[in-house]
Structure 1
Amino acid sequence: MGEKQFNQIIKEGFSSLSPGQKRVAEYIKGHMDEGALHTAYQIGKKAGVSETTVIRLAYALGFSGFSDLQEKVRRDWLENKQASQTEVSAAIDTTEESQLFETVIQREKSILEQLLNQGSSEDLWVAVDKIVQADRIFIGGFGSSFAAAYWFYYSLRQLRENVSISTPTGFMPEDVSEFTEKSLVIVFSFPRYRNDSLKLVNSAKQQKAGVLAITNRQLSPVGQIAELTLTTEEQIESSHNSISSAITLLEVLIAGIHHKDEERISSRQQKLERIYANHGLFIE
């Protein structure tokens, strides 16, 4: 988990940018190769803004100038290029049956390598602290995003109390009516993005609850407005969203929670084991 990547810098400063600067930021974010190689004038023309707006974006994001911004984009692009080049989901040839499974595994491997490169240890520890310190946690995942949300809900219930979850199709206002500034909402949002995710984030913010988004990119709809955003496939261009990257990210969080809250977790798990034994829940 290295230094902060360009997409994270954009996410943190996005809300303060002018409309034109936002267009440039989104354009570079989606075209890192052009951002790494083209001039400010060329980028501005592609984004539909002036060269001056491109230069002002660099200053707005804390760079000393456009060349400084471009050098950061170039480093990130080159670091991620190798992993991105191995993304071959669009090239899977169903007629080559002997290579199909190997191709899928290689694709998943490239996604996990990208997850390692793009992550921020600081953000992960902030997320862990928020989860440990929250008085209650509500997990939201809608549609296909519910699968990863439920996995985390089930795992987190083994570690702490006061954890609840939405349904795959929505949530009730009563579910979030008792949130306070000490509560935490964790929203899973992967394409196609559901409106319920935005509704949940806005409901949480109205009650001053913390919001952690787990999504595929920093500038996804919930990624832009969440207090903290963790991403899975930031630089991978694919119509397929890997469940393995989401679960791996959650495994990292679980490991961090174990490290930070070991004593309380041990006490809870001992209590749960007694209950499981009394109910004869497991075969072994």
Structure 2
Amino acid sequence: MESRPLVRDLLRERQSDLTASERKLSAVLQEDSLVAGLQSITRLAEMAEVSTPTVIRLARKLGFDGFPDLQNAIREELAERIKRPLAKLDAALTDARDHIVSQFAETVSSNINRTLDRLDLAEFDAVGQLLSDPTMRIYLLGGRITRSNAHYFFNHLQIIRPNVHLLDSSPSVWPQSLLDMNETSVLVVFDIRRYERELEKLARLAVEQGARIVLFTDAWGSPIEKVAAHTFRSMVEVPSSWDSTLAINFLIEALVAEIQRLGPDQSAERIAALENMLGESRIFRNT
């Protein structure tokens, strides 16, 4: 069954329908990833410097019966975002009617389809153009789970275009990379729940340097979304303690194909040069 839209998305989508007071309240809710919405209605109104009827009106404009209904949705949304691996495993074990392979196949297929349903093709095209521009320097980095996605994207990009850099996993060496970032830089970040504060700090510093952020995240959205120029949200839940990044990899492979299509001469020359280098260098041979 399709879940209802996320409160964070509703707030963004309904901005044009809100009054000035309602927009102030919306900004307070979005500022700290909805956490303010767990306050009492009186306290929330005080924080936003609006009236309690404004809080109720905003809740109803978002499609809720009232503030308690909105607050329940916020509570559920936050609980999903911080769900721990053991809690996910307990939930998965309650529905073990089919073999785990069948469960995974069905869920991953659904994740990819639902990710595509939510994909903004104009956003995809814009990122394809950005990452295919040879004058742009691309930096990639993932979190504890998504590091492999960053490596995978990097391995493809460095073959088909120049100026691609994979950041070290240790934050202690990030300042050296930040030093070289500017308006001709793109930082591609992978961040899914439980979101990593170090990545958020890096993204903010990169934007201050002039870089643009391309974010790959989950359905709930990493806090990095606030500073990202482009965001791809993917469905990640599977019957496991861990989230799946297969839908993210689907988008990566589609982007690789698009980047190669947009710069066929550049990628063909690099691939040919690489093949020649591999053929000429005995160090890469077994014989």
TM-score where L is the length of structure 2 = 0.69
SS for the counterpart of 2:180 is coil
Distance 2:13 2:215 in 1: 14
Distance 1:112 1:90 in 2: 24
Note the alpha carbon deviations across 1:20-75, whole angstroms, 9 max, x for none: 2246679xx9xxxxxxxxxxxxxx97x966453465689xxxxxxx4xx65xxxxx
SS for the counterpart of 1:152 is helix
Distance 1:239 1:96 in 2: 14
Q: Note the 1:205-284 alignment, pairs <5 A.
A: 205-217=207-219, 219-233=221-235, 240-280=242-282, 281=284
When residues 93 and 172 of structure 1 are mapped into structure 2, their CA distance, relative to the original with a 3 A threshold, is closer
Measure how far apart 1:98 and its partner are.
6.4
Tell whether the 8 Å contact from 1:141 to 1:188 is kept in structure 2 after alignment. Answer: yes
Corresponding residue of 1:39: none
Aligned residues: 240
How many percent of aligned residue pairs carry the same amino acid?
19
Aligned-pair RMSD on alpha carbons?
A: 4.0
Distance 2:220 2:266 in 1: 32
When residues 277 and 207 of structure 1 are mapped into structure 2, their CA distance, relative to the original with a 3 A threshold, is same
When residues 95 and 10 of structure 1 are mapped into structure 2, their CA distance, relative to the original with a 3 A threshold, is closer
Note if 1:146 corresponds to 2:150. no
Tell whether the 8 Å contact from 2:236 to 2:243 is kept in structure 1 after alignment. Answer: no
Corresponding residue of 2:81: none
Q: Point out where structure 1 has 5 or more consecutive residues left out of the alignment.
A: 30-43, 59-65, 71-87
Corresponding residue of 1:34: none
When residues 96 and 53 of structure 1 are mapped into structure 2, their CA distance, relative to the original with a 3 A threshold, is closer
SS for the counterpart of 1:180 is coil
Corresponding residue of 2:158: 157
SS for the counterpart of 1:158 is helix
When residues 55 and 107 of structure 1 are mapped into structure 2, their CA distance, relative to the original with a 3 A threshold, is same
Q: 1:191 is aligned with what amino acid?
A: R
Tell whether the 8 Å contact from 1:179 to 1:207 is kept in structure 2 after alignment. Answer: yes
Q: Note the 1:100-249 alignment, pairs <5 A.
A: 100-133=100-133, 134-170=135-171, 171-217=173-219, 219-233=221-235, 240-249=242-251
Tell whether the 8 Å contact from 1:218 to 1:230 is kept in structure 2 after alignment. Answer: no
When residues 147 and 103 of structure 1 are mapped into structure 2, their CA distance, relative to the original with a 3 A threshold, is same
Measure how far apart 1:253 and its partner are.
1.0
Tell whether the 8 Å contact from 2:103 to 2:239 is kept in structure 1 after alignment. Answer: no
Range that drifts further, 96-105 or 220-229: 96-105
Q: 2:164 is aligned with what amino acid?
A: V
Q: Point out where structure 2 has 5 or more consecutive residues left out of the alignment.
A: 35-39, 46-51, 64-87
Measure how far apart 1:168 and its partner are.
2.5
Distance 2:272 2:100 in 1: 45
Q: 1:151 is aligned with what amino acid?
A: Y
Distance 1:276 1:127 in 2: 31
When residues 124 and 11 of structure 1 are mapped into structure 2, their CA distance, relative to the original with a 3 A threshold, is farther
Note if 1:20 corresponds to 2:21. no
Measure how far apart 1:224 and its partner are.
2.2
